[in-house]
Structure 1
Amino acid sequence: MSELSKRRLKAWIRLLGVTRAAENHLRAYLRVHHKTTLPRFDVMAALYRRREGVTMSELSRMLLVSNGNATAVVDRLEGEGFVRRLPSETDRRTIHVALTPAGLRQFEGLAADHEAEVDTLFARLTERDLDTLTDILRRAKGGPA
């Protein structure tokens, strides 16, 4: 292995560590301050981005989770009045899910607090740091050279 290869591996491990630490912090923050979970937040965020609603399969793909996991979270959110299921007009086997007005309000409050917490987590990064990091991640996402 080359020295550069070893450095790339260390960078990958460090990136994973930062990601996991931030995710764990946000999980705890949402649980303690909002009595909710990160998967619920993620489902609501996906539905917020697609206000017209999505099928359960689309939602699962957006979140990179199984249909069963997405369904369990949607069931709970629906029970609390934050999500509604709408049958497809063209295929009765297809169900669309969307946030209710109460779900929109709930998510907007969660999203503002989530953003503030992420801002606090990364407060030591300057604008220049963020520009550099964004550029690096954009290049890394491109896949192998």
Structure 2
Amino acid sequence: MDAETALAGLPPGRKDNLRLWLRLLTCATLMEREIRRRLRAEFSTTLPRFDMLAALDRAPEGLTLGEVSRRMMVSNGNVTGLAARLEEEGLVERRLDANDRRAFRLRLTPLGAREFARQSRAHEGWVNALLAGIAPDDRAALHALLGRAKHSIAEGIA
């Protein structure tokens, strides 16, 4: 039994914030697990590889390893090894930064851009399918509520 299910029987008003957090975590975990499975099955790739290609796709000028690390919210060490493997496969390239000759910028190669486009089309379809059971008005309301939650969390951290 997961933690969310264990708290489900509590009366309304009891541990509501904890139950909400566990519901959000459960939804995110279920979706992430399925996306990881489909990336492996259909593209023989991993979510971190997909995430790095996505970050580079959004930055045609390229990103330093530190910028990739911050965008992916992982350590520089994780990014370095991942970048090296993607470079070996011809999906990304490293070039000296024009503004800082001590740093490298990563960019998608044409092959990397084509591969990411292929994967991202599938990824969008998977997300659409996983959320298809939520009516458009409910999706909009949920998006707005989660925006408020995000704001509340950010204020709580500050």
Displacement, 1:92? 2.3
Distance 2:108 2:42 in 1: 22
2:23 to 10, 14, 35: 14
Match of residue 113 from structure 1: 122
Distance 1:5 1:108 in 2: 46
1:103 to 112, 115, 119: 112
Distance 2:14 2:68 in 1: 37
2:63 to 42, 54, 70: 54
Ranges in structure 2 where 5+ consecutive residues have no aligned partner: 1-11
Match of residue 4 from structure 2: none
Q: Say which SS state the counterpart of residue 15 (structure 2) adopts.
A: helix
Distance 1:39 1:81 in 2: 17
Match of residue 8 from structure 2: none
Ranges in structure 1 where 5+ consecutive residues have no aligned partner: none
Q: Which amino acid aligns with 2:80?
A: T
Displacement, 1:45? 0.3
Distance 1:5 1:79 in 2: 53
Displacement, 1:91? 2.3
| Aligned residue pair count | 143
Q: Say which SS state the counterpart of residue 102 (structure 2) adopts.
A: coil
Greater Cα shift, 19-28 or 87-96: 87-96
Displacement, 1:29? 0.5
Query: Percent same amino acid at aligned positions?
Result: 42
Q: Say which SS state the counterpart of residue 65 (structure 1) adopts.
A: coil
Distance 1:136 1:69 in 2: 33
Distance 1:4 1:53 in 2: 49
1:140 to 141, 149, 155: 149
Distance 1:19 1:71 in 2: 26
Match of residue 88 from structure 1: 97
Write the deviation string for residues 31-55 of structure 1: whole angstroms up to 9, x where unpaired. Answer: 0111000000000000001111011
4+ residue runs over 6 A deviation: none
Distance 2:36 2:71 in 1: 19
